[in-house]
């Protein structure tokens, strides 16, 4: 079963590499989409090596970047050869779930506003597959009314939110904002995959609890 993992530009982006492994242990075929910000924290080559698939980092083809291509013997089926400008449609129709971890405050805002100016946000709008969002950010950003309003809107539209854990954050503050545990995220993904046919019109909020 194929799922797409969206990795966005937060310090927790490095944790997505282990999340890929955890999802693969559940017999899921993981493909990765990275935002521009995510690439400042972790390289696409890491995910290409882990998944054996091309990592998508832009709406447009990027010649001269071999790290974005699969190595020998890997699957290149995600690409139709027509350019990444329309590939989001193919991917949107071919995935069982879209998982975004970490999901930054900016990503949540883009999704809530319906913006489509990069591959991940365009994919979000184009897919009818279940969406699992695992936010991670500074506690003040998480608690801000704008972020909470975006969360509420996304839940209303059917997204499943894996709430951030509470603990010491990268900035040194203590509070909610840490990326939820891999176990919590995987559990959420499996729940939407197992029950996707029964979720029409329903909304869910998954909490990870304290750490």
Residue 107 in contact with residue 12, Cβ under 8 Å? no
CA distance 20 to 179: 14
Question: Inter-axis angle of helices 105-113 and 119-126, to 10 degrees?
Answer: 50
Active site residue 101: no
CA distance 38 to 116: 17
- For residue 132, the cross-strand partners are 99, 160
Catalytic residue among 170, 171, 173, 174: 171
Residue 21 in contact with residue 50, Cβ under 8 Å? yes
CA distance 121 to 107: 8
Q: Which residues contact 45 (CB under 8 A, 6 or more apart)?
A: 55, 67
Catalytic residues: 171
């Amino acid at each position: 079963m194929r799922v797409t993992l969206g990795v966005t530009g937060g310090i927790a982006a490095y944790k997505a590499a282990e999340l890929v492994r955890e999802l693969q242990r559940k017999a899921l075929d993981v493909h990765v989409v990275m935002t521009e910000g995510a690439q400042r924290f972790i390289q696409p080559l890491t995910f290409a090596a882990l998944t054996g698939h091309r990592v998508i980092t832009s709406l447009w083809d990027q010649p001269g970047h071999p790290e974005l291509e699969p190595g020998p013997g890997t699957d290149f089926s995600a690409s139709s050869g027509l350019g990444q400008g329309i590939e989001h449609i193919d991917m949107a129709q071919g995935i069982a779930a879209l998982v975004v971890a970490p999901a930054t405050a900016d990503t949540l805002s883009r999704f809530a506003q319906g913006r489509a100016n990069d591959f991940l946000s365009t994919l979000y709008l184009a897919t009818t597959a279940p969406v699992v969002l695992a936010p991670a950010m500074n506690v003040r950003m998480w608690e801000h009314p704008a972020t909470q309003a975006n969360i509420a809107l996304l839940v209303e539209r059917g997204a499943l939110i894996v709430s951030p854990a509470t603990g010491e954050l990268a900035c040194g503050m203590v509070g909610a904002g840490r990326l939820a545990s891999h176990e919590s995220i995987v559990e959420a993904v499996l729940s939407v995959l197992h029950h996707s046919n029964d979720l029409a019109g329903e909304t869910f909020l998954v909490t990870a609890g304290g750490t």
